[in-house]
Every structure is written in structure tokens, then in C-alpha cells.
Structure 1
Amino acid sequence: MMDSFVAGVLATSGKLEKEDLANKICKISRKVEDTKEGVCDMITKKYKEFLPSLQGSEELMVQLEKIAKEMDVLRNSVETEVQQNIHSSVAENAKMKQQLDKNTVILTMLGHLKEFHNAMEGFNQALAENRYVEAAKLLEKAQSVDSLKTWKTSKLPLLCALASELIVQRENFIYHLGDEWRRLATWKLPSSKEPTNPRCSLKTELKLTLHCRKDGDPGCPALLSCILQALAIQGDLHYKIKLFSQVLIKNMLKPLVVYRGLSVKVVEHSDGPVLTVEHLESDFQQEHSTPSQVYTKLLLVLKTLHAHLLDVSVGETKLSTILGELIWEELSHCIIHECLVYSIPTKSSQLENYNAVIKETKEFEGALKEMQYLQSDSTDLLKYAKDVNCHFASKKCKDVIVAARKLMTAKMHNTVRIKPETKLTLPKLPAPPGPKQQQQTLKPSFGEEQQQEEEVRLDGHRQLSSRTLCLPVCRISESVQQLMELALSTLREAVGSSTQCAMQLFFTVRNIFQLFYDVVPTYHKENLLKFPHLAAIQHNNCMYLAHHLLTLGHHFRPHLPQPLSDGITTFVDMVPSFRKLGAQCFLAQLNVQKAELLERLSSARNFSNLDDEENYTAASKAVRQVIHQLKQLGIVWQDVLPVNIYCKVMGSLLNTAISEVMAKIMMLEDISSEDGEHLHTLCQTLIEEGPLVFVPLAEERKNATYQEEVPLFVEKWITFKELVIVLRANLQEIVNRWAEGKGPLALEFSSSDMKSLVRALFQNTERRALALTKIK
């Protein structure tokens, strides 16, 4: 009874002990086992032994239901009581943990405050004793106060004061280190307002001070190392070196490279060396320094800096390495574009001597690597020097194009006379290697022709003249002749060069001619239309170039490297373009002259009513102007154009003039005897003075017959002469010259034209009618 009471009290209080629960669980377990055995026994008897046991089955069912109810009560009791205990324990533990965490945070914060105080005390003491590395580390340790900023309690006035103190002390430390750094390297620089020039650089001075401790004992290496390492710890070293490098390269290194007259002087003092920029010459020439001079000056500066300032390690890195990484790219670029580019040879024969520059560049970089300014084995500077062949070709090509353009824009009227014996001086080329050496020698042609001891035989009876395929006598611009010589010298440079160099030079020569084709007609366009003299010269220039382009590539091809020697070395494809260009230019001028001739003849009042003095004067003036124009053109062109071209051109112009005169005369419906005389006089003037433009020059008398064959060049010349005869002939003479359609008149005129002319010249009589019947 007492036990049940105690158990009930404990159960109601929610503090049932584990032993009671265990006992109940054991009892239930035993009842379950007993029930399990009973059920199994009943099932066996019911389904296996077929014994009637209904009553036993009902008792077991009642017992099973009772046990199930007790299990439910026990389960509910366990779940209720145990869960209540669990929730209570968890709440108590959470409260205790929260209190513990709060105490831990407070203790951690107090520990940080203690560390901060100790670090700041140690920092101040180390800074006072110039122990910069230790001071920098302690200052970094004091940075732990920054972690307090993330706490909820960071708004405390104490923490704000500590953060401010940390900032003040750090800035003070950096300033102190900066002051020490400035005393290591002191610059004296020209005013930024002064213009940039070599004389301005003479005011540049750099003083390197050897630091000594306060007690007077020198301790430069150790103290310098401390300053640099402290700057590195504070993250300010790279910035200081960067500022120093910018001043160094702008005010000392670059001027030494750019200006030939500048040098650097190093004067040793007790407290350190002084580097001063000085001039070597009384005046500053614009010539560029040689690579050797530049390397010597730069090494003097960099070796002095390395010996007194930069030969210090910061961590695992040398200070010279840091400076080298900052200045090398800009310095090497300056050396290349202000020195090496001007040292590239202008002739292929000088390329072998450039090996000295390559060697000097390699030694310069070797010295920098030894001082640890450079780390890489391959630099742009040495690579540029070694690629001298490519740079030579590029420089040569650039110079050639500039020179060619200058020649193309030069005045065209400065001319030279080309004669059959005039030879284009071809360079002496080495014999081509291999089987090509056995090939037949190229026959010189055009202006390149050389005198042959034996004439070439076509068969047993006929021979080629020594002047076969030679340029006829003419005048070309002196600049064009120089342009051709420039092309020859450029191709000569390609012989014996590397494949890439030869390719560049060959295509540069092609570009020269293409540039001529594009530039000259545009640049001289107005003058070529305005001045007949220049148009003729331009015609000759184009023909001269086309003439030599035929064989130019053929002459050099065997001596050039592949693939140039395989057949792509040719200029023949440009020949038609140049011939067309010269012809178009001169034809344009020829059309201008024809238009002027027709305009002058338009003032002749159609050659009608010449018995009127004013009409005759106008017609006579027009004819005289035509003759004058032809003579002036003859004076301008005869010494310039080849004789055959000159005769064709003047013949064409004269033909234009007489064709216009004939057309106007044939249009007249009534020609009086006086008009006929006047017309005869005017036409006779053309017949007498027109051929004078074909009279050869004194040195061309041997071609007199060729030039005096006027009918060969003037298509309407015979027709015009027949017209002049008709103007003074009687009807019988006209009929006789017609000769029933077989005479000279019938060869030049149609029957209808001749009948119209007869009707205009003669009155309507039986004789005229009879004569007209015979003209058929």
C-alpha cells in the first residue's frame, strides 16, 4: 500500500525513476512472451491438430486485449514523462551554454585588448630604437583590434578610440619610413615648367646616402634592409619603388638613351655617391647614340644603384629585381626605338658588322641579369637585335618607298636624253648556283643592251641589228631614271639575302611601280592637261618603265632565293598597265590640242565670202593660228618624243586641221573666182608651212626621208592637195584629173562631192553641164 502511494506520488510529480520503468517493462515483456506462447499453442491446435478449443481461444483473446491496454498505458506514461524531462534538460542546458558563451566572448575581447596594448607598447619602444622590422610586425599584430568591429559591442567608445590610435600610429610609422627612404635617395630635378630638352636634363642629380646609426657606427646594409622590409610588411614598398622608378627612367635613363650629347658622372663622397647628368659636347647634335654608348651609360647608372641601394633582399626578392620589373619594359622600348632602330644597316654588305651590336646587347643583358635586374632569358631587346635581317628589310623598304614617293612628286620637266647606246647600269650579280649556272646568258635588251662583239644570226643571210629592241631616242624625267636605279639597287640588296628579306625587298620594288601608277597621274593631273611638254614626258616615262619591266625580273630571278627563283619574280604583268597609262595621258593632251585647233578654225567664218576683207582677215588669222600652234607643239615635242611617235602625233593634228578646212570648203554652195583665189592662197599656206613641223632636228638628219613622208602621217594630205588644185583649175583640167573615175581626183573624192564642188566654183553653163556629165 505504501509502495503504491509512493509510486503514485512520484508519477504525478513527473519524476518516475528509471528502475520503476524498467521493472514495468520487464513485467510486460514476460506477459507478452506468455501470451505469445499461448497464442502459438492455440493456433497449432486449431489449424494443425484440429482439437476443439473455442473456450481456450476466447480466454486468450480476453487476456491479449488486457495486455494490449496495459501496453498503451505504459507507452503513454513513458512518452509523457520522458519527453517532459528532455525538454526541461534542454532548456536548462541552453541557458547555461548562453551564459558560458557570453563569458567566453568577454574573455576573448579582454584578451585582444591585452594583446593590442602590449603590441602598441612594444611598437613604440621598437620604433624609438629604430627596430623597424619588429615595429612593423608589432603594428601588424595590433591590427587584431579590427576584429572587434564585427562584434555587437564594437560601438563602445573604448574600441573606437583604439581604432583611431591604430590609424594614427600606422600613418606615423609609414611617414617615418618614407622619411628614411627619402634620405636614402635624394633627387634634384629640373622644374616641370621647363620644356623637355637635353639642356634641361643637365639639372638632374641623384644623391645616394649611406645611412649611419645615431651612435655613429655605420650600419647601412642592416638598416637599409630593415627599412625596406618594414615598408614591405606595411605594403608600401612597391609604391615607393614605383615612384622612384618613374623619376629614374624619365629624368635620367631615357635622356641618356635619346640624347647623344648626354652622359652621367658618378662622384664618390664620404656619405655616398652622387650621379649627375652632364654633356659630352659643346652643342647637342641630333645624331643618335650608338648601342655601345647607350649600354655604357645605362650600366654606369644601374651598377651604382645596385652597389649602394638595390643590392638588398626583401623576403626572397632582391630590390633590384623589383625595380627591374618596373622599368625594363619601358626602358627596352626606348632603347629599341631611339637607338637600335637607327643602328640597323642600310646596305646588306653592312649586316655582318652588326654582329658586334648583337654581342654588345647580349653582354648588356648579361650584366643586368647578374645584378638581378632581369630574370628572363629571352627579352624583346635581344630578340630585336637578333632579327636584324627583318629589320634591315623593313627599314630598307620604308626608306625606298619614301625616296620613291619623293621622286614621284618631284618636278617632271627636268629631263635626260635617252639614246640607243644609253645603258641602264645593271649590278654585277654572282653566278647562279647549280644547273642554272649553265643556262644561256640573257640577251640585254632595251636600254640595258650592251655592245655585242658578234651580231646574232637569224639564218645564213640575215642578222639582227645591234639596236634591236632598244628604246628610241627620247627624253624622260630625271626622277624616273633615278626611280629605276632605285629599283635596281633594291633588287640588288635582295640578292644573297634571306628568303624573308628578299621577299620584302622584291615586293617593295613592285610597290614602287604600283605607287608610280597610282600617284603620278593624280599628283600631276592638272599640269599633265595644261602643259603639252609634261604630257609628252609622262608618256615617255611610262614607256620607259614598261620597257625595262619586261626584262627586269628575268635578270634577277636566277640569283634570288626560293620561291622567288621559281618564277614569281616578274614585272611583265605590269607592262600593259604602264603602256596604257602613258597612252591615255598623251591622248588626253592630244584631244585638248585638237579641240584648240578646231576652236581656232571656228573663227574663220566658214571660209565664205572671202572677197570681203574682214572675212578674209578672219580666215587668214585662223589659218596662221593653226600653223603657229602646230609649230609651237613641234618645238615642245620634237626633242622629247621618239621620232615615230612625234611624226604620228603631228600628222594627226595637221590632218585634223586640213580635214576641218576641207569640210568647210565643201559646204560652200557658191565660190566666186576671187573666193577661189583666196581659198587657194590659204590652203597653199597650209601646204607649204604644215610639213615644216616634220623637218628633223640637226642630229636626226639621217631620218629626214622618214620624217618628210607627210602623206604617211597625214591621212587627208593628198585629198587636200587635190582640193587646192581644183580651186584654181578650169573645167577641162578637172575633167582630165577625174579621168573617167580613174584619175587622182577620183581616188580622193566621190562623184557627188566633186559635182557639188564644180557647181560651187563655176557658173551654170553648157560647158559645166558637159563636165558634170563626165564626172560619174
Structure 2
Amino acid sequence: MASFVTEVLASSGKLEKEDFTGKISKLSRKVEETKEEVCDMINKRYNEFLPSMQGAEALMGEAENLSKEIDILKSCIETEVNQNLTTAVTEYSKLKQQLERNTTVIAMLRHLEEFHIAMEQFHESLLEKKYVIAAEQLQKAGHSADSLKAWKGSELPLLRAICSELTVQRENLIYHLGDEWKRLVVWKLPPSKDTVSHTSSETKGEKSFVKTELHLTLGGTKEVEQSPPPLLACVLQALDIQGELQHKIKLFSQLLLKYMLKPLISHPYLNVEVLEQQGEGTLLSLQCADTTEEHPSPSQVYTKVLMVLKSLHTNLLDVSVGERKVSLILGELIWQEMSHCIINECLLYSIPANSSQLEHYILVIKETEQFEKSLKEMQYLQVDSTELLKYAQDVNCHFASKKCKDVIVAARKLMTSEMHNTVKITPDSKLSVPKLPSPASGDKGKQQAKKPEAYRLENEKQLGAGTLCLPVCRISESVQQLMELALHTLSEAVGSSSQCATQLFFTVRNIFQLFYDVVPTYHKENLLKFPHLAAIQHNNCMYIAHHLLTLGHQFRPHLPDPLSKGAATFVDLVPGFRKLGAQCFLAQLNVQRAEMLERLSTARNFSNLDDEDNYSAASKAVRQVIHQLKRLGTVWQDVLPVNIFCKAMGTLLNTAISELIAKIMMLEDISTEDGEHLHILCQTIIEEGPLVFIPLPDENKNLKFQEEVPVYVKKWITFKELVIVLRATLQEIVDRWAEGKGPLALEFTSSEMKSLMRALFQNTERRAVALTKIK
């Protein structure tokens, strides 16, 4: 034991790992031997009862020595390991870095090998026109180049050359694919607008689309099981791998829309012809057809578009790239623009003009559904609901919108047309009201039929046949057509959906609002300039107001809610139209009144008529006034209703004689000759004034209204009394005054009569006596 420990402790210098291992093994064996001796001793001590105190003490001493040797060895080992640990770690780190560099170099060499192999296979496949393999190998080479770029610490002199070669070969592949595409898809387009002569008509420009042709070749047979696949499929798949397919299809879609699909949709004279050429592919060409239609029908459009798209699907687009078909790529590019073109150029014009034709529009909806179904089968579409089908299904709303637009346009055209073309309105005149369904039936209808008879039995006095009828007059033909347009539009609302009926109803209201705003402004100058038009406008407004009273009640029972519950009314518009007509005519009367007063102002106040110039001026003014009134009577004859005519002429004549009365009453001295001249002038008005009342063409029928002049001319009796006074004596004046009870006293005040007497008669005792009797 002692010699072993001494041997261990005596060793010096660096301990190698093998020495540690050997010595530890020896020590371990020695420990095992000691352990056996201890166990043997304990066994003898307690089991065999052989006490050996001395042996035990010696053994304990030996164990203690062994423990010390272990501690010394442990300390020695720890010292050696700590000294060499740093050195070992450094050596291992260098070895690891060298190994990693070697691994990196090997990986880069492997990528270079993969790049080289991929490029070799690329060139072979490209020469053999195996474009899919070539694209895949080029893509693989690109991945290898990307892997080489990923190591930032690596700087290969060949890396720049590799990237350049990769770019060149990618462009080379795209060029070859583009060249193949040009051979497989050949367009023959019409000449551009720049090359077309400016003298050519628009029709020639449109029909130049006839020169459009599209030639499709598969580059192989159509058999699905063929190997290798057709050239077309290879080209499309290779383009997709290189990320160029979307761009190619986009350019193709733009040409397809511009030169084939849109012309077929927009022009009814264009048809498409599909010709299968043996061994050469398929030829699609636009052909011209004779037609008089302005817009093609939906069925024609769907047929032509499907013919084109089916040919494209069969000969070009039925190829899978990734998880989708090429047809879907094209569909996503053209669908929105194509569907909008179909809506605006075809479906818009197919909307019925009358509600009776709406039932037949179901066929168009079915055709639209079938059209979209065919596109889904060819995988041009994926969505279930599109704007095209929604537009066709919302035919009621589009019908109402189209109808409303057409109605407003027609109404505005009528409002801006000439007003002087008139039609005569009589109590028997009736509008062509569309036949409406009877709101009552059965017993209820019979009870309603009996009510008027019962009413006649209970009431002796009956309303006249002309009650609530318009008086005889003339209105513009355009206004009568406007009212018929309103009636026809309301009849379209009967039986329509609530939304459609409401839209049509308020369009009719808008017609009348438009009339109220447009006509007075558009015809403003003419309404002030021409009395004839002012009278017609007055009648037009009253005619419209008359029909607006009952128009809503007439249609309300036949309209859907909420119109049938009271919303369908036009009564609120009536006061506005009556006021509009009255204001228009009053404005014309004011113009005529101003002209009349201006003419009378040239009469030199009817003074000193013994002077020939003064008398001539006064006579001329009176004649001009009479002529003006006669001219107005002729213009308004058979146009204005009789009562309005008489009131208007009476108002103007009353203005003239009121001005004349005022001028005469202002005179302070009227000589005998002046009185005679004034009498002559006034007598002219008395004789010819009634003759302006000619409301009817038949002269014999006008006598009645000429005899009723005092009814319409407020100052007529006053004027006649003045004429009598101008030639009367003092006694005759006193007699007609009759102490304030005579006809003269009813028209003049005592002060007015005294002033007139002082002007007519000289200041004598007889005049003074006569003046005392005027009180």
C-alpha cells in the first residue's frame, strides 16, 4: 500500500490521460480489496465473534492512509485538468471551425454541381422543346444560385458570372416561349385609327372590325393520353413556372376584349365564324351580317360570346397550371369589363318599355343564367352570383328607372316645344285614359250602381251636366300630350311592384314640378311679348290644375301600398298651378295696361282741344287705345274662356276710361268747342268700346256680351254720365242730379260735379243757382 502511494506521489511532470486511467484503475482495485477486508473483518467481528482489536486498529489506520492518498490524487488530477482545459478547448474550437469550413466548401461545391447539372439539362430540354422541363431546371438552377448568395462570408469569383448566365438563359427561355406563343396564337387586327383616312365615315370605322381574325394552333393533337403533352400545354405551363403567364394572358385578354368580344356585344351587324382547319388549327373571324337593329338582343350576344369562349377553351385555355385552369385566369381578367359591356350595350336596351312586356323578360333572365352556367362549366367563372345576373333579375327596378328617364326626357321635350300649336277644349273633351280594373265587384258593385239613382229620387235639384267641366278654351297641344303621358305612366304603375309603382308615381309628380319650373323660365320673354301665348299659358296651367284635382283619386285604388293609403295625390300642386297661370296672365295685362296708359299720355291731357294739334293728338291716342283693345280681342278670341276674356277686356277698357275720366275731371276750363270735341272722343269710345268684346268667332253670339259691358267695365256708367254732362245744360244737369237721387249722383260726388260745372259753364247767376242745388 505504502509503496503504491509513494509511487504515485513520486511521479512528476505532465500526466498523460493514459497514466491517469491506469492509476485510477489500480486505486480502484485497491479500494475493492480494502472493502473486502473491511467486510471480512466486520463479519468476523459480529458474526463469528472473533474479536481482534489489534487487527481492527491496524485496519483503521490503513483505511485512513488510503483516504489521504485518495485526496492527494484527487488534488493532483484537478490541478492537471484545470491547467490543460483551456488548451484543449482552443484546439477543439479550431478543429470545429476547420470542419465547418470544409462542410461549407463541400456544400457550395454541391450547389455548383447542381447548378451545372441543371443548366446542362436546361440546354438539352430547350433544344428538344421540352419547355416545362427546361423551366423547371432553370428554376432549380436559380435556387442553387440563391443558395450560393445566402453565404455572406463567401465570395466566389464565379458567382457574378453564374447570376449573369442565369439571367441570360431566363430571357432566352422567355423569348422562346414568346415565340412559340406567337406561332400558336396569331392575331390579324384591323388597321388602327391613325392609318384610317379622316374622310372615312364612322360606319366604316365600326365595320373595320370585320377584318379581325384569331388563328389558334395546338402544336399537337388533342388526345389527353398523348406523351409528351401538346406543345401548347408545355408553353403555358412553362410560362407559369417562370411567372410570365399572367402577363401573357393579360395582353391576350386586352386584345380579345377590344377587337372581338366588345365589338360582338356592341354591334348587332357583327357575327363570329369558327372554322376548323385540318392540320392548321382553328380560325375565329368576325363577319358582317345585314340587320336593321340598333342594339343586339341578349340571346344573340350570349350565343356569339359563348362561341368565342368555347373555341378558346377547346383550343387554348383548357390547360391546368398549378391548381387552376388557364381559362380561370382569362375569366378573372375579362369578366368585369365584359359583363359591364353586356349590361350597358345590350341588357340596358332590352329592358321593356311597357309593363305588359315584363312577363316576357323572364326568358332573358333564364338565358343569362344559362350563359353564366356555361362559363362556370368551362371554368371561366367561379362565383355563384354576378352583377350580370343581378342586373337581369332586377328588371322591375331597371324598367322603372328606364321608364322614368324616358318620361322625363319626353316631358321636357314637350315643355320646350312651341306653345302656339293649340287644341280646343270643350266640356265633352276627354283624355284617352287607360282602362283600369274595377275596384268593386259583385253585390258591392251593384249597391254602388244604385246609389246615384237613389240620390236622384231624394233630391229634386240636380247638378248640371257641365259641373266640374273645363270651359271652352284652347290649350297647347304639347300640354295635352303631357297630360296623356302622365296618365300612361300612372297606368304603368298599376299592377307593378311597390318600389316600381312608387318610382313611377313620383316621376309623374316630377313632370308637373318640372313644368312649373321650366316653362315660365324657358318661355319667359315670349310670354311677356305675345298676349296670345300668355293666354295659352294661363289655360295650360288651369287645365293641368283641373286634372290634378282628380288624378290621384282616379289611380289610388289600383296602386300598391303605401300609395293606395293616401300617398297618391296631386291636390297639393293645384294652388301652385292656378297661381302660376294667373300670374302669367296678370303680367301680360299689366304690360297691356302700361302700353295703354302710355298712349293716353300723348293726348296732352285732353286740354285746349280747340287747337287742331291738340285735338289730333287726343284723337290719335283714343284711336290707338281702341285699336289695341280690338287687336287683343282678336288675339284672345276663341282662346280664353268666355268669362276670363270678358273680365280681361273689361279690366283694360275700364283702365282706359278711368284715365280719360280723371283727365277730364282735372280740367279747370272747358270751352264750348272743347266740350264738343271731348264729347266726340268719348262718344267714339262708347260706340266702339263694346265692340272689343268678341270672345266667340260667331259675331251673332257676341252681341250678348257686348250688351253686358257695364257688368265687366266698372266705370262704364260713370263714363256715359260724363258724356251726357259734356253736352247738357245746367238745368239738365240739375235734373239728372235730382237732389242726390238721380243717376248722376250715383256716379259722382257733389264736389266732383260742382268742379265739372265750373269748368263747363261761365260764372253766372244761373250757374250759381245750379251749384246750390248740387248737394
1:203 is aligned, of 211, 216, 238, to 211
**1:66-215 to 2 correspondences below 5 Å:** 94-143=93-142, 144-152=144-152, 156-192=156-192, 193-194=194-195, 197-212=205-220
Structure 1 residues 735 and 148, CA gap change in structure 2 (3 angstroms): same
Structure 1 residues 233 and 391, CA gap change in structure 2 (3 angstroms): same
1:383 match: 390
User: CA contact under 8 A between 1:212 and 1:219: conserved in structure 2?
Assistant: no
**1:639-718 to 2 correspondences below 5 Å:** 639-699=638-698, 704-706=703-705, 708-718=707-717
1:371 is aligned, of 369, 378, 383, to 378
User: CA contact under 8 A between 1:189 and 1:203: conserved in structure 2?
Assistant: yes
Q: Which amino acid aligns with 2:625?
A: V
Give, in angstroms, the shift of residue 762 of structure 1. 1.1
User: CA contact under 8 A between 2:422 and 2:474: conserved in structure 1?
Assistant: yes
Matched residue SS, 2:347: helix
2:760 match: 761
260-269 vs 517-526, which moves further: 260-269
Q: Which amino acid aligns with 1:396?
A: K
Give, in angstroms, the shift of residue 362 of structure 1. 2.0
Q: What is the alpha-carbon distance in structure 1 between the residues aligned to residue 395 and residue 247 of structure 2? A: 38
User: CA contact under 8 A between 1:687 and 1:721: conserved in structure 2?
Assistant: yes
1:272 is aligned, of 268, 271, 281, to 281
Deviations 1:176-230 (A, max 9, x none): 11111221111100122256733210110111113149xxx98795332222111
TM-score when normalising by structure 2: 0.85
Structure 1 residues 601 and 459, CA gap change in structure 2 (3 angstroms): farther
Q: What is the alpha-carbon distance in structure 2 between the residues aligned to residue 370 and residue 485 of structure 1? A: 50
**1:137-536 to 2 correspondences below 5 Å:** 137-143=136-142, 144-152=144-152, 156-192=156-192, 193-194=194-195, 197-212=205-220, 222-270=230-278, 271-281=280-290, 285=292, 287-432=294-439, 438=445, 457=456, 460-536=459-535
Unpaired stretches in structure 1, ≥5 consecutive residues: 12-16, 21-76, 444-451
Q: Which amino acid aligns with 1:423?
A: K
User: CA contact under 8 A between 1:455 and 1:464: conserved in structure 2?
Assistant: no
User: CA contact under 8 A between 1:455 and 1:466: conserved in structure 2?
Assistant: no
User: CA contact under 8 A between 1:442 and 1:555: conserved in structure 2?
Assistant: no
Q: What is the alpha-carbon distance in structure 2 between the residues aligned to residue 632 and residue 492 of structure 1? A: 44
Give, in angstroms, the shift of residue 79 of structure 1. 13
User: CA contact under 8 A between 1:532 and 1:589: conserved in structure 2?
Assistant: yes
2:633 match: 634
Structure 1 residues 152 and 321, CA gap change in structure 2 (3 angstroms): closer
Structure 1 residues 246 and 511, CA gap change in structure 2 (3 angstroms): same
Q: Which amino acid aligns with 2:349?
A: Y
User: CA contact under 8 A between 1:431 and 1:437: conserved in structure 2?
Assistant: no
760-769 vs 166-175, which moves further: 760-769
**1:38-49 to 2 correspondences below 5 Å:** none
Q: What is the alpha-carbon distance in structure 1 between the residues aligned to residue 119 and residue 764 of structure 2? A: 144
Q: What is the alpha-carbon distance in structure 1 between the residues aligned to residue 758 and residue 11 of structure 2? A: 168
Deviations 1:456-488 (A, max 9, x none): 749543121111110000000000000000111
Structure 1 residues 137 and 220, CA gap change in structure 2 (3 angstroms): closer
* Structure 2 residue 755 is the aligned partner of structure 1 residue 770: no
303-312 vs 521-530, which moves further: 303-312
Give, in angstroms, the shift of residue 673 of structure 1. 0.8
Give, in angstroms, the shift of residue 432 of structure 1. 2.2
Matched residue SS, 2:434: coil
Give, in angstroms, the shift of residue 425 of structure 1. 2.4
Give, in angstroms, the shift of residue 410 of structure 1. 0.5
Q: Which amino acid aligns with 2:377?
A: E
Matched residue SS, 2:627: helix
Structure 1 residues 154 and 704, CA gap change in structure 2 (3 angstroms): farther
Structure 1 residues 717 and 322, CA gap change in structure 2 (3 angstroms): same
Structure 1 residues 478 and 392, CA gap change in structure 2 (3 angstroms): same
Q: What is the alpha-carbon distance in structure 2 between the residues aligned to residue 311 and residue 731 of structure 1? A: 121
Q: What is the alpha-carbon distance in structure 2 between the residues aligned to residue 407 and residue 334 of structure 1? A: 32
Question: Sequence identity of aligned pairs in percent?
Answer: 71
Q: What is the alpha-carbon distance in structure 2 between the residues aligned to residue 210 and residue 5 of structure 1? A: 93
Give, in angstroms, the shift of residue 104 of structure 1. 3.3
**1:549-588 to 2 correspondences below 5 Å:** 549-588=548-587
Matched residue SS, 2:211: coil
Q: What is the alpha-carbon distance in structure 2 between the residues aligned to residue 761 and residue 311 of structure 1? A: 117
Q: Which amino acid aligns with 1:766?
A: E
Q: What is the alpha-carbon distance in structure 2 between the residues aligned to residue 409 and residue 337 of structure 1? A: 29
Structure 1 residues 153 and 668, CA gap change in structure 2 (3 angstroms): same
Matched residue SS, 2:622: helix
Matched residue SS, 1:351: helix
User: CA contact under 8 A between 1:201 and 1:277: conserved in structure 2?
Assistant: yes
User: CA contact under 8 A between 2:696 and 2:702: conserved in structure 1?
Assistant: no
Unpaired stretches in structure 2, ≥5 consecutive residues: 15-19, 25-75, 197-201
Give, in angstroms, the shift of residue 617 of structure 1. 0.3
Give, in angstroms, the shift of residue 108 of structure 1. 2.6
Deviations 1:647-668 (A, max 9, x none): 0011110011111111111111
TM-score when normalising by structure 1: 0.85
1:68 match: none
Q: What is the alpha-carbon distance in structure 2 between the residues aligned to residue 235 and residue 262 of structure 1? A: 36
User: CA contact under 8 A between 1:190 and 1:203: conserved in structure 2?
Assistant: yes
746-755 vs 483-492, which moves further: 746-755
Matched residue SS, 2:610: coil
Structure 1 residues 524 and 310, CA gap change in structure 2 (3 angstroms): same
Q: What is the alpha-carbon distance in structure 1 between the residues aligned to residue 343 and residue 699 of structure 2? A: 59
Q: What is the alpha-carbon distance in structure 1 between the residues aligned to residue 664 and residue 11 of structure 2? A: 159
Q: What is the alpha-carbon distance in structure 1 between the residues aligned to residue 84 and residue 667 of structure 2? A: 146
Give, in angstroms, the shift of residue 366 of structure 1. 2.1
Structure 1 residues 162 and 743, CA gap change in structure 2 (3 angstroms): same
User: CA contact under 8 A between 1:146 and 1:163: conserved in structure 2?
Assistant: no
2:720 match: 721
Deviations 1:10-31 (A, max 9, x none): 99xxxxx9999xxxxxxxxxxx
User: CA contact under 8 A between 2:189 and 2:211: conserved in structure 1?
Assistant: yes
Q: What is the alpha-carbon distance in structure 2 between the residues aligned to residue 163 and residue 558 of structure 1? A: 83
Deviations 1:569-626 (A, max 9, x none): 1110100010011111111111111000000001111111111100000000000000
Q: What is the alpha-carbon distance in structure 2 between the residues aligned to residue 394 and residue 440 of structure 1? A: 41
User: CA contact under 8 A between 2:217 and 2:281: conserved in structure 1?
Assistant: yes
Structure 1 residues 584 and 88, CA gap change in structure 2 (3 angstroms): farther
Q: Which amino acid aligns with 1:673?
A: T
Matched residue SS, 1:202: helix
Q: What is the alpha-carbon distance in structure 1 between the residues aligned to residue 7 and residue 657 of structure 2? A: 160
| Number of residue pairs the alignment of both structures matches | 707
User: CA contact under 8 A between 1:259 and 1:286: conserved in structure 2?
Assistant: no
Matched residue SS, 2:186: strand
Q: Which amino acid aligns with 2:207?
A: R
Matched residue SS, 1:422: coil
User: CA contact under 8 A between 1:408 and 1:519: conserved in structure 2?
Assistant: yes
Give, in angstroms, the shift of residue 704 of structure 1. 4.6
User: CA contact under 8 A between 1:455 and 1:465: conserved in structure 2?
Assistant: no
Root mean square deviation, CA, Å: 3.3
Q: What is the alpha-carbon distance in structure 2 between the residues aligned to residue 79 and residue 677 of structure 1? A: 164
User: CA contact under 8 A between 2:633 and 2:694: conserved in structure 1?
Assistant: no
User: CA contact under 8 A between 1:695 and 1:708: conserved in structure 2?
Assistant: no
Structure 1 residues 696 and 151, CA gap change in structure 2 (3 angstroms): closer
